[in-house]
Structure formats: structure tokens, C-alpha cells
């Protein structure tokens, strides 16, 4: 595992968009039982996540977004 100070900026980048952080299997189970459409994001510290995934998520969060739940 990476130290918290290393992953915190990447985590905050998603929570700033309104993404709910799921840190346990129970959290995931509860999120998946919610009605509607849920977009689940697996965050990473790799360059691909920084260069493509998180920016793409930001674009998906634009006003036309139709997700009921974000985790």
C-alpha cells in the first residue's frame, strides 16, 4: 500500500467531483444495492489514471451526466 500522503491528492481529485469513496466490501455492497444507475470508479496512482481516467471522469460529471449514484 502507498502512504496516505501519496494517495490523498488522487483521492481528493475524485471526491471533489462528488464521488463517494468506498473503502470496504460492505461499502461496495451497499452502493450496488441502491436503485438507479451507479458508476463505480477504481482509482489508481498510475499515470494512466492521472492522464486519462480521472480527467475522463471529470468530463462524465458535466451537467449532462445521468448517474443516480457515484462511487
All structural domains of the chain with their residue ranges:
4-70
pLDDT score of 64: 66
**Could you tell me how far CA 13 lies from the centroid of its own chain?**
9
Would you give the DSSP letter of residue 70? E
Res. 38 pLDDT band, cuts 50 70 90: confident
Which of 30, 45, 46, 58 is the catalytic position?
A: 46
Would you give the DSSP letter of residue 52? I
65 is catalytic: no
Report d(CA 43, CA 24) in Å as an integer: 14
pLDDT one-digit tens code per residue, 6-27: 888 888 888 888 889 998 999 9
Which of 1, 25, 48, 59 is the catalytic position?
A: 48
Q: What are the grid coordinates assigned to 70, written together?
A: 457515484
pTM higher than 0.75, yes or no? no
Amino acid at each position: 500500500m502507498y502512504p496516505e500522503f501519496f494517495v490523498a491528492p488522487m483521492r481528493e481529485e475524485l471526491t471533489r467531483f462528488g464521488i463517494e469513496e468506498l473503502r470496504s466490501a460492505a461499502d461496495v455492497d451497499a452502493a450496488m444495492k441502491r436503485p438507479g444507475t451507479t458508476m463505480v470508479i477504481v482509482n489508481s496512482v498510475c499515470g494512466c489514471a492521472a492522464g486519462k481516467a480521472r480527467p475522463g471522469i471529470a468530463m462524465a460529471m458535466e451537467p449532462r451526466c445521468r448517474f443516480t449514484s457515484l462511487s
